[in-house]
Amino acid sequence: MIELSKNAGINWAGRLNSNRDEKTGFRYGVISQNEISQAWCDSAEADYGDPHCPKCGRQADKLEAFGETFANGIPNEFTTDPHECDEFACVDCNHVFGSESAFGDTPNGFYYDRDGITAACGEDGDIFVTKSPYFTYAQFCSPCAPGACYLIHPVSAENADNRCYCFGHDWFEDGAAPYPVYSVETGAEILPA
């Protein structure tokens, strides 16, 4: 049995709409990746950011964006790395290079964008669920995530301002979320299988 609190917490966002879906009014749900570690590790993809030129640091363009300019080969004034694929170009320093040089060695974070769920996790290990077919009611987060709700601190449904997106039961190893799960579409509670 999940114990629900009546303490909604403090909304550190005040009147701002930070960490909230402006279209639906649902708040973003926050959960530590340790709570769903295996499901997150199996499903999340690395985010290396935008490609940048290894020489000047300018944001790089995909070679195909140049269309006919490079269709018949790379112009002579451009330098290429013979050990890399020709994928990106920098017009500032006339350099063509591959993804090996365009991205850093470590990801900026991880993300998931499938099955109606959009979530992202940065270096701090907290996952922000920014879209989902599921929601729950949870306490507001600390000032570190103003306006978002911390999923492992569920509150009773009478706290309507604390509706937040969440992961479904199938994301947890025992097949049951540590909070009640509701359908965004119907509002009905979804019980563990």
| Residue 112 and residue 178 share a domain | yes
- Residue 97 CA to residue 100 CA, distance in Å, equals 8
- The CA-atom distances, in angstroms, between 44 and each of 34, 102, 120 are 13, 21, 8
User: Is 173 found in the same domain as 91?
Assistant: no
Query: What pLDDT band is residue 129 in, cutting at 50, 70 and 90?
Result: very high
For 147, residues 6+ apart whose C-beta sits below 8 A from its C-beta are 11, 12, 13, 16, 17, 18, 19, 20, 27, 28, 140, 141
Q: Is the same domain home to 131 and 167?
A: yes
Q: How many domains does the chain have?
A: 2
Residue 9 forms part of a structural domain: no
Residues 86 and 120 in one domain: no
Average of pLDDT values for 117-129? Answer: 94
Read off the pLDDT of residues 61-84 as tens digits, 9 standing for 90 and up. Answer: 887 766 556 655 666 567 677 667
Which domain, by its residues, includes 178? Answer: 29-47+108-190
Measured CA to CA, the distance from residue 191 to residue 185 in angstroms comes to 15
Query: Do 117 and 152 share a structural domain?
Result: yes
Q: Say if residue 116 is in the same domain as residue 42.
A: yes
Query: Do 113 and 143 fall into the same domain?
Result: yes
The residue assigned the tokens 């018949």 is: 72
User: Are 73 and 135 in the same domain?
Assistant: no
For the whole model, what pTM was predicted?
Answer: 0.80
Instruction: Tell me, yes or no, whether 37 and 116 share the same domain.
Output: yes
* Residue 15 domain flag: no
Gyration radius of the chain over CA positions: 22
Looking at residue 41, its amino acid is C
Phi/psi at 129 (5° precision): -90, 110
